[in-house]
Structure 1
């Protein structure tokens, strides 16, 4: 995926998430059930933590090192354990801190991606320790696919709470 295409996709996914979030009242952001027992605040922390891991992968790629984490190589048990560890790290944040951290982390990921050399986005897939995954694919997975999964879950949760409508 070319960098310009990746950046457009990141903007689109972020816009969809933020537009949906804007339909919620502050008190709704703290209600459980959006993703299992997690609230929107918890999902914000979860997404921030995964974007932070993606930023670490960018730093590793720049240094010619192995990625910190490749999601697809993890077992379900490993993924669940990691998600629980990240949840416990982020759950202490206030709603305001979770929101600010999410937006700051997303902007940092976007800016870091924009600053990457186009070749670096694709050449990592040729390195054995990247297991055939390009840095661009890893970024897209977090900044778009993962966020879209949670956007869809949030949309369903809102629809269920509001009798089928995601409108305010």
Structure 2
């Protein structure tokens, strides 16, 4: 995870990643949006829905920080704990099943709105609260800046995979 040292740096990191994603998505055809990203069975639509689903957790944390309350996490199966490193594949499969039939315009709008909310909530927090590691006990040793950086890293990880596929012959 990238380490950010200021609120401006965290927001710039998110803004750059958003702009990069927006440019990529704007240049993709509908066929590319819905085609499986080889060797996976997930399409770009599925990846964007996946990113949005995880944004819900980040936004819950940021909302809690701005209101000084405990986070109200999205309702995911209690048997799939996102904090357990061994379970992301099962949880990601569950997320895929939840959103695979959702139309692309809705997936895109949810993701975009969620991302903009993430940046807005990050901007609303005082810098000291954003950077302080021990400020929120429910973050267990992480700062809110880490939450923002982690979201940018998650997007970057999937973007690199998507760009590699778009540059391949399989993408058409």
Structure 2 counterpart of 1:75: 85
Worse-matched range after superposition: 25-34 or 147-156: 25-34
Residues 1-168 of structure 1 mapped to structure 2, 5 A cutoff: 1-33=5-37, 36-62=40-66, 63-65=68-70, 68=73, 73-76=83-86, 78-125=87-134, 127-142=136-151, 144-161=152-169
TM-score using structure 2 length: 0.82
The Cα of 1:74 is off from its aligned counterpart by 2.6
Secondary structure of the 2:106 match is helix
Q: Distance in 2 between matches of 1:138 and 1:72?
A: 14
Q: Distance in 2 between matches of 1:72 and 1:84?
A: 12
Q: Distance in 2 between matches of 1:10 and 1:32?
A: 26
Unaligned 5+ runs, structure 1 = none
Aligned length: 161
Cα-Cα RMSD: 2.6
Unaligned 5+ runs, structure 2 = 75-80
Q: Distance in 2 between matches of 1:97 and 1:89?
A: 13
Worse-matched range after superposition: 148-157 or 105-114: 105-114
TM-score using structure 1 length: 0.83
Q: Distance in 2 between matches of 1:113 and 1:41?
A: 26
Change over 3 Å in CA distance of 1:60–1:124 after alignment to 2: farther
The structure richer in helix per residue is 1
